[in-house]
Amino acid sequence: MMKPILELDNVRLYFSKGRFRTEIIKDVSFEAYKDEFVSIIGPSGCGKSSLIRIISGLLQSNGGEVLYNGAEVLSPPRGMSLVFQDFALLPWLTALENVKLALSDSNESEESKERRCKKMLQEVGLKGSAEAYPKELSGGMKQRVGIARALVSNPEVLLMDEPFSSLDAITADQLRKETHHLLKNKKTSVKLVIMVSHSIEEVIEVSDRIIVLDRVPTSIIDDIYVKMKYPRDMRSKQYFELASRLRKLLHSAQS
């Protein structure tokens, strides 16, 4: 039996404000294994971002635990990277410097860091823009920098919080395809991807496994393994069935 890379065990979360306590995550448990592309989908405000922040070690849960390769996650571990919905680039650093930020805890030489970052930027299709500042880049290019920053440290687990939802439909589509291609063809160090999304089409297009969350306070209401070949055929019967199943689930979760 293969050991999971990531284990979530009865993770719970609430926010307290004064005397009031709002339960956000009731109980979430799952295990994720090597070579999985897992999507987490759920109605808006159900706690998807909170969940992925707990996994990444940015937020502490109020119960249960997250294990990464058997060790409890208490702070952002080496080996995990996060891609943000709003890119989270520092506007006073160039694209290259933003990517280099991810290598600040490695003891490589400056030249080798720089070389790797440039290569990474090239890989995500930003060859000529290393010296550009974020505000000179389009939304799609900004997220390319965000992805390069997440990949340059050779992470084992890539976490993404709605990485394409700040982009226009066409740009999102293209970047999603490219990213999926990059990750699936074993060109990177990434062994496990966890992506949060609220788009049914998006998750069917890229996922090996889809976890569906309930409305807040959330828990898992379905965990679907998708056995279709890539690239996924939008006109196939399987696609249609999966889409309507997800639509039903989300509809019942929302109301």
Partner 1 sequence: MDFLSALALDLAASWTRILVALFASIVFGILVGIAAATSRVLERIILPILDILQTIPILGFFPIVIFLVVSYIPGYIGVNIAVVFLIFTSMSWNIAFGVYESAKSLPQELHEIAALYGLSPLRKLLRIYIPSALPRIAYQSTISFSIGLFYLATSEIFSTGSANFAVTYGVGIEIARLAASAGSFYNYLLAIIGFVIAVILTRVFLLRPFSAYSERFSLSPNENASESAVLGFYSLIGKILIKPLMSLRPRRPKRRVVISPRIPQAKKPYKLVRHKHFAHIYALLGALVLVLLAILLLNTSQLGEEIIVLNALAASFVRVWATYIACAAISLPLGICIALSKRGFEAIMSVLQVLSSIPAPILMPALIALLAGTAFFSEALAISVIFISMIWYILFSMVSGMRTIPASIFEAARSNRLGWVQLWRKVYIPASLPSFVTGSITAVGGAWNSLIIAEYFTVQSNSQMVVLGQVGTGIGKLIDTAVFSGNTSLMLLSIISMTIMVVVVNRLLWQKVYNRVTTRYRIEV
Ligand X SMILES: Nc1ncnc2c1ncn2[C@@H]1O[C@H](COP(=O)(O)OP(=O)(O)OP(=O)(O)O)[C@@H](O)[C@H]1O
Residue among 43 and 134 whose Cβ is closer to Mg ion: 43
Hey, what are 192's tokens?
Answer: 């496990």
Instruction: State yes or no: residue 85 binds partner 1 (CB under 8 A).
Output: yes
216 binds, among ligand X, Mg ion, partner 1, none (CB under 5 to 8 A by kind): ligand X
Which residues, 6+ apart, have CB-to-CB distance to 117 below 8 Å? 96, 99, 100, 103, 130, 148, 152
Hey, what are 25's tokens?
Answer: 């995550």
Binding segment for ligand X (CB under 6 A), chosen from 40-48, 123-131, 173-181, 223-231, is 40-48
Query: Are 209 and 36 in contact, with CB atoms under 8 Å apart?
Result: yes
Report helix, strand or coil for 127. helix
Segments of the chain assigned E as strands: 6-17, 20-32, 36-41, 63-68, 71-72, 80-83, 157-161, 192-197, 209-213, 218-225
Instruction: State yes or no: residue 166 binds Mg ion (CB under 5 A).
Output: no
Instruction: State yes or no: residue 48 binds ligand X (CB under 6 A).
Output: yes
Task: Among 67, 88, 182, 243, indicate the residue that binds partner 1 (CB under 8 A).
Answer: 88
Residue among 53 and 191 whose Cβ is closer to partner 1: 53
* Whole-number Å distance between alpha carbons of 205 and 218: 24
Residue among 37 and 84 whose Cβ is closer to Mg ion: 84
DSSP state of 230: S
Residue among 47 and 163 whose Cβ is closer to ligand X: 47
Query: Are 222 and 230 in contact, with CB atoms under 8 Å apart?
Result: no
Please report how close the Cβ of residue 127 comes to partner 1 at its closest, in angstroms.
Answer: 23
Instruction: State yes or no: residue 163 binds ligand X (CB under 6 A).
Output: no
Residue among 49 and 62 whose Cβ is closer to ligand X: 49
Instruction: State yes or no: residue 92 binds partner 1 (CB under 8 A).
Output: yes
Instruction: State yes or no: residue 50 binds ligand X (CB under 6 A).
Output: yes
Instruction: State yes or no: residue 56 binds ligand X (CB under 6 A).
Output: no
Hey, what are 100's tokens?
Answer: 């280099």
Please report how close the Cβ of residue 76 comes to partner 1 at its closest, in angstroms.
Answer: 4
The half-sphere exposure of 245 on its side-chain side, counting CA atoms within 13 A, is 17
Instruction: State yes or no: residue 15 binds ligand X (CB under 6 A).
Output: yes
Report helix, strand or coil for 225. strand
Please report how close the Cβ of residue 81 comes to partner 1 at its closest, in angstroms.
Answer: 7
Which residues, 6+ apart, have CB-to-CB distance to 10 below 8 Å? 27, 28, 29, 63, 64, 65
Residue ranges binding partner 1 (CB under 8 A): 53, 56-58, 75-76, 78, 80-82, 84-86, 88-93, 101-102, 104-105, 135, 149, 153
Residue ranges binding ligand X (CB under 6 A): 15, 24, 44-50, 198, 216
Residue ranges binding Mg ion (CB under 5 A): 49
